[in-house]
Amino acid sequence: MTYVNEFLKKEKPADYYSKLLEELEEKNNKFHAFNVLNKRISDGFPISVKDNICVKGMETTASSKILKGYIPPFSATVIKRLEKDGFSVLGKTNMDEFGFGSFGINCEVPARNPFDETRVAGGSSSGAAVATSIMKYHAAVAESTGGSIAAPASFCGVVGFTPTYGLISRYGLIDYANSLDKIGFMARSSGDIRLLMSKSVGVDPADTTSVDVKLSDVKKEKIVVIDELYDKIDKNIKLSFDSSLSRLSAAGFKVQHVSIPEIDYSVPVYYIISMAEASTNLAKFTGFKYGLKVDDFSKEYNEFFTEAREAFGEEAKRKIILGTFIRGASVRSKYYEKALRIRRIIRDKLSKVLDDSFIISPTMPVLAPKAKEAESFSPIQNYSMDLLTIPPNLCGFPTISLPSDYIDGLPVGLQLTGGQFEDNGLISFGEQWEDSFKYKFKYNIGEL
């Protein structure tokens, strides 16, 4: 049984909402999962929405000062579809500004990991993972560019699902990088992910990248480990991962190691492409139309826009500067166009492996670091933390991150990657993982 079905059978939604809102505000002051809470009592299953996905009438800021006060006059397609099927928006969740981050610390007040408040919750969908971790009856609508669903899901011990690129309409999403962004979900069970997907997929005339395909429930007996990625994970994570592989082997799965040297280019290629696209998307935030307004129209052109763009955080400014340089006529072929060609090579290599197998890895190469430690990381150290989640996201393949273990009380995630449109096969694997291996969610914080 999914948590959605359990909720509908056991709870009176209005009564649950009333009690939940009383307790959630106090919890939120502690964990900072939500940027905005919807105080209206509802009768639907509660979902949270990442703060870069528009909800009509609810402030949507992408956790950026430059969008403070922006109230969308419309809802994203995925939200309209879910609300039509009985889901209700509980609030907008905290995140790295515009999705720029792996730890959830690139914002005004970072979300806290519910298993250890001194540690990061993961990013960029940090609040979505925390909300899913602290509430039993809840699911989160989130978004991933290079691992923004999988990373926080792993650090907070919940299921994170990133669909095939184009399966869920991106209309109403505040873009990070258009060729990489995917709206997905977090929940406490793979069954809930299946339900959310069934209500959300489908072509949307408002999004030309959306597709209409029939998803098959693919089952594969072979799972593949990529040696170049395996060699880069932390020792403790490796031991836990090896244990998971042993359990899968005992259950009849064939585990195979392969070498794909080109995979080492995934991180630099991803950041070249994403920065170039991000710098273009950020150009619309000028202090004139959305959110923050600069009212003194007597200023010179450069002075006017510079004042508005001081509201950007450090990582957003880095994306603008580097992305604009990468797109420059003198270097575009050297960096951006070459990165596109390498992305195609990596996608072809992974597609060949995925013909008859799933790819498996830990979700993150390390345990959730201390927040103070993460704040001291250099940009390169930050970017390298995405080495396991970037390859499938770069290629538009679906992934599921499943809670698999605990090390020193901290959750560890297991990531499975499928071929294009093999989303249901990953969800079935997740259901098997939860049922056959009797994995039990463990919460040390007292859930709502």
Catalytic residues: 50, 124, 148
Tell me which residue of 267, 240, 317 sits closest to 64, measured CA to CA: 317
Question: Residue 245 and residue 255: Cα distance in Å, rounded?
Answer: 7
**SS3 of residue 179 by DSSP:** coil
Helices 77-84 and 190-200, packing angle to 10 deg: 110
Q: What is the DSSP string of 217-263?
A: ----SEEEEEHHHHTTS-HHHHHHHHHHHHHHHHTT-EEEEE--GGG
Question: Residue 14 and residue 42: Cα distance in Å, rounded?
Answer: 6
324-329, long-range: CB < 8 A, 24+ apart: 324/279, 326/272, 326/275, 326/276, 326/279, 327/276, 327/279, 327/280
Tell me which residue of 356, 414, 355, 354 sits closest to 388, measured CA to CA: 414
431 alpha carbon, distance to own chain's centre: 20
The pair of structure tokens assigned to 68 is 């403070």
Q: Where are the alpha helices (DSSP H) in 90-179?
A: 126-134, 150-156
The tokens 């826009």 sit on which residue?
Answer: 305
386-423 in b/e form (b: 16+ CB < 10 A) is: bbbbbbbbbbbbbbbbbbbbeeeebbbbbbbbbbbbbb
- Tell me 58's DSSP state: B
